[in-house]
A and B are shown apart, each in its own frame.
Chain A
Amino acid sequence: MPAGPLLPLPELEARIERWIALEAASEEAFGLPPEEFSDDREEKFARWVVMAASVHPRFRFVRNETVHWSPPEQPLAASRVALLSTGGIRLRSQAPYEVDCELADASWNAIPREAGPGDFAIDHEHYNHADADRDVNCMLPVERLRELAATGEVGGVAPRHVGLMGCISDPSELLHGTAPRLAEMLLADGVDLVLLTPG
């Protein structure tokens, strides 16, 4: 189950450099079909870094230097659950997110647990959210979570869920400003478990 050892950063950076050189040398850089490339995760990751850096001038890859670990202390049936999505989701009544990744919109919206399918809007231009526009539960399963709480599989639904923007070139404000404030809110709400979903 462990994801395997991480490459030391200098080695990873060397591999990324190698891929940048290969991409630069290839006339079809990003036009090659996926089957031309291996399933190697280092390669996939390096290609993503190259792609992101080429599209987003302010792109900065940041990883967790220390990984925190808070295993559950009570059964799921006794746990209060909150949802968080970085798919650019908000209530229609809340201000739209900035969709330009360079502007690094680190704002967030608290979404009351009573919110229903017709209450949402999605601001994001990097993935197809047509399904989630029709049925928010494919991305932020607010109704499904209420149902699991009603049957007792889940202990309870937190009073507030969280919506954020996903495409952020420089995550500094997100990491050092937004995330700690979010965590404070979730703690104040007595949340035991958070499910995070992308767009």
Chain B
Amino acid sequence: MGLIQNVIEGAGITTISATMKPEITHYVRAPRAARMRLPQGNPLGEAGRAEQQRVILGDLLRLPWVITEPESIVTLPHRWRREARPSVRLPGETGGEVTAAL
């Protein structure tokens, strides 16, 4: 997926990829990625949980405004069947948390 992502990014389009295999993403050298602590098959969360999916999607889409270094892999705070976690905040917004890379 990081190969396709890099071609799209090279065409001038901003990209963000979700990964459950950050070690592969790291060596493929994806331009910008989010490590999801969620199972394969569920990168956006659980079936039928629209609010959870919406929060995760919103966080993923905000990351290109937060990640400033190429090849960064940030870990999103959402966990499988766990309580709500702080969301990604844009620069200037208060609160929120993004944990360090890989």
Contacts and interface: CB of A to CB of B under 8 A. Distances in A.
B71 A3 contact: yes
Interface string B1-14: 11111111111111
A149 B64 CA distance: 17
Interface string B24-68: 101111110000000111111111101001100110111011011
A175 B64 CA distance: 23
Contacts of B53: 137-138, 141, 144
B contact patch SS? mixed
Contacts, number: 219
A68 B29 CA distance: 10
A103 B79 CA distance: 35
B97 interface: no
A194 interface: yes
A195 interface: yes
A41 B4 contact: no
Contacts of A134: 47-48
Contact of A194 (B3, B8, B58): B8
A180 B6 CA distance: 10
Interface in A163-179: 164, 166, 171, 174-175, 178-179
A27 interface: no
A81 interface: yes
B47 A131 contact: yes
Nearest to A108: B4
A45 B9 CA distance: 24
A153 to B, nearest CB: 6
Contacts of A186: 8, 11, 13
Interface of B: 1-24, 26-31, 39-48, 50, 53-54, 57-58, 60-62, 64-65, 67-74, 90, 100-102
Interface of A: 1-4, 6, 12, 41-42, 44-45, 48, 61-64, 66-72, 75-76, 79, 81, 84, 86-87, 127-132, 134-135, 137-139, 141, 143-145, 147-148, 153-154, 164, 166, 171, 174-175, 178-180, 182-184, 186-187, 191-199
